Amino acid sequence: MPISDQELKQLLSDAKTMRHGFEMMVRQYSEQLYWLIRRMVLMHEDANDVLQNTFIKAWNGIENFHGDSKLATWLSRIAINESLDFLRKQKNNHLVSTDDQDAGIAQQLMSDDYFDGDEVEAQLQEAIAQLPDVQRTVFMLRYYDEKKYNEISKILGTSEGALKASYHIAVKKISEFFHQHD
Amino acid sequence: MHVKEKKDMNNEEIIMKTRMGKKNPFRVPEGYFDNLTAQVMDRLPEDSGKKVVTMKPSLIVRLRPVLYVAACLFIAVLSFAVYLDKTGEGSEEQMMAEQVPSYESNFEDVADYVMVDNYEIYACLTND
């Protein structure tokens, strides 16, 4: 049974119930956050690592949450930042050029046990992965999570106008992918 | 965004949703989510110290001191305005009262200068 944000915040604001409240928060939001992260980082093992780091960061920085936003918004912000940090480190660690790395994504996915899509879907994920980080994030949140622009604005701290522009560009680029594969 | 651009955008989005859908091609190991919470909690430090969520009071509570000060200032300004309004009438009367004696004293000075007595002034005023 889902617990309300208010009840969770109450539990988290008392030292005696904080751990219990945090556990309930993890149970409530972990799956939602996992899929947000997974769509960014693609591989299950990486998504699992990033998700765990997200909650550790949330735990260590719990005093920075003042209850003035939704818990989902706060956690999503941490998850997205952790995902982007992971992707940047991954890019820096790769010895091959960026183009080669992106070209290998479809192949990596096809050989991944936890990817059920066909070749076209793998190539689509590669096209999404080629988007700049912010565009990719906005696209994920808008298209897959169906979040409203004002919600995305609170998560990313970006104006709605800039978000709409980012999404518009992302949709255009992905549409071009489909035209190329027709 | 222009109307045509919006229309194009909508068409592109429709095509994308038709071709792409929202199918999730990713999956997780069996039982992953069932064990996830326990795994996360095991990795957390035992005690985060005395850190807890510090809830910000609601907006109206935070603004209360500001509202009190604003209300006091308003009352003070209003009172001062009323005070000024009342003392303003008194000062006009006072000014008029001051002017009358000075007017009267000036007339007397003039009368002395021309050495005219009251009878002669009356006669002059009533003369056609």
- Its ipTM equals 0.84
pLDDT over 60 at B1, yes or no: no
Contact A55 B24 (CB under 8 A): no
Instruction: Collect all residues of chain B within an 8 Å Cβ-Cβ radius of residue A67.
Output: 53-56
Q: List the single residue in A with minimal CA-CA distance to B54.
A: A66
The residue ranges of chain A whose pLDDT is under 70 are: 95-103, 182
Which has more confidence, B19 or B112? B19
Mean pLDDT of B50-71: 75
A13 touches chain B (CB under 8 A): yes
Mean pLDDT of B41-48: 81
Helices (H), A67-159: 71-93, 98-103, 105-110, 119-129, 133-139, 149-156
Query: pLDDT confidence of B35, banded at 50, 70, 90?
Result: very high
Contact B56 A15 (CB under 8 A): no
Distance from B65 to chain A by nearest Cα, in Å? 20
Nearest to B19 among A60, A66, A178 (CB): A178
Contact A114 B27 (CB under 8 A): yes
Q: Is the pTM of this model over 0.90?
A: no
Query: pLDDT confidence of B67, banded at 50, 70, 90?
Result: confident
pLDDT over 70 at B89, yes or no: no
Is the separation of the CB atoms in A75 and A33 below 8 Å? yes
A162 touches chain B (CB under 8 A): no
Give the number of A-B residue pairs with CB atoms closer than 8 Å.
114
pLDDT over 70 at B107, yes or no: no
Instruction: Collect all residues of chain B within an 8 Å Cβ-Cβ radius of residue A19.
Output: 41, 44
Average pLDDT of the residues of chain B: 73
At residue A84, the pLDDT reads 94
Which range of A113-117, B67-71, B124-128 scores highest in mean pLDDT? It is: A113-117
Distance from A50 to chain B by nearest Cα, in Å? 11
pLDDT over 60 at B85, yes or no: yes
Contact B29 A55 (CB under 8 A): no
A160 touches chain B (CB under 8 A): no
> How far from the centroid of its chain's Cα atoms is residue A86's Cα?
11
SS3 A147: coil
Contact A114 B36 (CB under 8 A): no
Cα torsion A22, A26, A29, A32 to 10°: value is 150
Cα distance between residue B95 and residue B103, in whole Å: 12
Which has more confidence, B85 or B98? B85
At residue B128, the pLDDT reads 46
At residue B18, the pLDDT reads 79
Instruction: Collect all residues of chain A within an 8 Å Cβ-Cβ radius of residue B32.
Output: 48
pLDDT over 60 at B100, yes or no: no
